[in-house]
Amino acid sequence: MSPTMSVEADDCSPNTKSLHFLLVPLMAQGHMIPMVDLARLLAVRGVLVSFVTTPVNLARIQPIADQVSASSLPIHFIELPFPATDVGLPEGCENADLIPSAAFFLTFMNAQSLLRDPLESHLRIPNASKWPKPSCIISDNLQHWTADVALSLNIPRIIFHGPSCIYMSCQRFIDQNRAELQSAIEAASGEPVIIRGLPHPIQVSKHEVMAAWRSDPGWSKFVETVQLVEESAAGVVVNSFTELEPWYFERYREMMGKGKPIWPVGPLSLYNKEIDAKETRGRASSVDTNVLLRWLDEQENGSVVLVSFGSIARDTMDQLVELGQGLEATGRPFIWVVKWAEEMQGMNEWLTELEKRVEGRGMVIRGWAPQTVILEHAAVGGFVTHCGWNSTLEAVAAGVVMVTWPHFADQFLNERLVVDVLKVGVAVGVKEPTVLGLENKEEEVVQVGRGEVERAVEMLMGGGEEGEERRLRAKELREKAKMAMEKGGSSWEGLEDVIKYVAESAEKTGKGGHPF
């Protein structure tokens, strides 16, 4: 039975039927998309789900909301007003990918807490379907204000962590040992150093130890609040699976302490089985799926390279031109997803010329691509990725090897996992972050030349025996990922344990099953 078509809930015991999970995502594609998957997985397991969103974001996921209602999955989408203009953000700036420049980023993050009052007012209104009051909140870790809402409802707050366990455990280590790491980097003349006590020689760079935001009091306060509130969370839900990074799950558990359950529930993207669920994931696709699939069907198995840098990362036009020329030079078929081309003078025209030169072999998607549709097609063999955690996991789940091109945040440590630990990737060689890329919009910044692009893609798609072994390992990981999500698999059990935990907690406090 396909979950998307399911009307009845799976494994639904009377005990879980009255459980009501309130999900609060961060309004950013990389955080919202997996939370939508989580909402549907929870509903399929027989619990009621309310999903907090805002008008612009709801419009983006409306096709999914329609699929949910057609399949009678018990999910309510709670549409709360987001007063962007009240805090100086442009009208309708309700998602991180709509922020006009890096200068607005902190304002956007702080503005998320303005959802608190409308959410509490909403929760006070008796609901027409007589759903019980929420039994728990699953909140994005960065939505720290939800701790107060959980407290006022006297229910547990479980946090949803977008990133990998390697990132979370290494980041904690960095936070706890910053001075020591900084001295070690200085002693190594600014070169990266290895984090001690890990099963793999994981290197961290100066920019990861001394992140630029640390000197900004506003950002420091935001991060401190998130970290403080994280301590009070009842448990942590992670979009990863045990078999992918067992050492780092263990390490993260040790760091969080015995009393705090850490539940693996991913790769959440594998919830989406049907093409209509995949093609509408995140937002409407900028390309006709039929045209795309026809083109992919014409290519040889494993021959196509997908290039996409997620929803936020931005590169300068000079950098994009180098990337495009590198791709052209490989002579291999490719799909290149380019965002914000219209904001760069001359970029669209340059892309059109490129399309002419590579006609039949290269496809440029301007805007939003149905990423999992592409990655899971047999024609796709490689992925040039910014190493956002969702993209990384989606490539793992599709058995596709990666050229790693991190831009900021957790992406550098995800690269280490892909290249050094799992050995399913080739690093393009980025040394410095482009914080959001946004700050460089007007500058001529090139970090990776066309030669490096060509070299990395060649090594990935060819690469002799080493390349074959990489591809074999990627296929093995794909099978492990699928097994983790199947009934009885590690992530399937992880979600089961989350539900059990909430059921027990509701039982103890007698809060389950009460109407508003």
Interface residue list for ligand UDP (CB under 6 A): 29-30, 33, 281-282, 308, 310-313, 337, 368-369, 371-372, 388-391, 394
Query: What tokens were used for 316?
Result: 């300068």
Q: Which is nearer to ligand UDP, 410 or 454 (CB)?
A: 410
- 3-state SS, 34-89, equals HHHHHHHHHHHCCCEEEEEECHHHHHHHHHHHHHHHHCCCCEEEEECCCCHHHHCC
Give me the phi and psi of 408, to 5 degrees please: -160, 175
Q: Which is nearer to ligand UDP, 167 or 492 (CB)?
A: 167
Q: Which is nearer to ligand UDP, 76 or 281 (CB)?
A: 281
CB of 283 to ligand UDP, least distance (A): 8
CB of 135 to ligand UDP, least distance (A): 28
CB of 337 to ligand UDP, least distance (A): 5
DSSP state of 211: -
Cα 310 → chain centroid: 9
**Alpha carbon distance 191, 184 (integer Å):** 9
**Alpha carbon distance 506, 510 (integer Å):** 6
CB of 395 to ligand UDP, least distance (A): 9
Q: Which residue has the tokens 């006709």?
A: 288
Q: Which residues pair with 427 in a beta bridge?
A: 404
CB of 194 to ligand UDP, least distance (A): 26
Biggest CA–CA distance in the chain, Å, is 67
Q: Which is nearer to ligand UDP, 16 or 440 (CB)?
A: 440
Q: Which is nearer to ligand UDP, 67 or 505 (CB)?
A: 67
Cα 398 → chain centroid: 15
Of 436, 501, 326, the C-alpha closest to 103 is: 436
CB of 372 to ligand UDP, least distance (A): 6
DSSP state of 515: B
| Residue closest to ligand UDP, measured at CB | 30
Q: Which is nearer to ligand UDP, 26 or 453 (CB)?
A: 26
CB of 409 to ligand UDP, least distance (A): 8
Torsion on CA atoms 473, 476, 481, 487, rounded to nearest 10: -170
**Alpha carbon distance 251, 199 (integer Å):** 10
Q: Which is nearer to ligand UDP, 99 or 312 (CB)?
A: 312
